[in-house]
Amino acid sequence: MRTIRMATLLVAAALASVSASAQVPAHNETGQTTETRERLAHPGNNDVLWNLIGCLGLIGLVGLWRPSDNDGYTDDPI
């Protein structure tokens, strides 16, 4: 009986709730356009400099890779 009551309550709550909107508004609640909409409106501004700096940073992470003589069959000592 308790299971049926809980299932009924769950179905009633699901039917009473408001569904999410399928379309995202172009402006947020303050009236400003979202960053994605702003980027799509100005396709010529690619910020190549920042993309290159980000790539250099990712390449720099290779320096954190420590060499190992592990053959893959044994545990690597810490």
Following CA atoms 13, 18, 19, 24 in sequence, which dihedral angle do they give, to the nearest 10 degrees? -150
Q: What share of the chain is helix, strand, coil (3-state, %, to 5)?
A: 50, 5, 45
pLDDT number for residue 25: 63
Residue 21 has pLDDT above 70, yes or no: no
With 80 as the cut, is the pLDDT of residue 37 above it? Answer: no
Q: Which of 27-31, 39-43, 54-58 has the lowest mean pLDDT?
A: 27-31
What is the separation, in whole angstroms, between the first and last Cα of the chain? 56
Whole-prediction pTM value?
A: 0.35
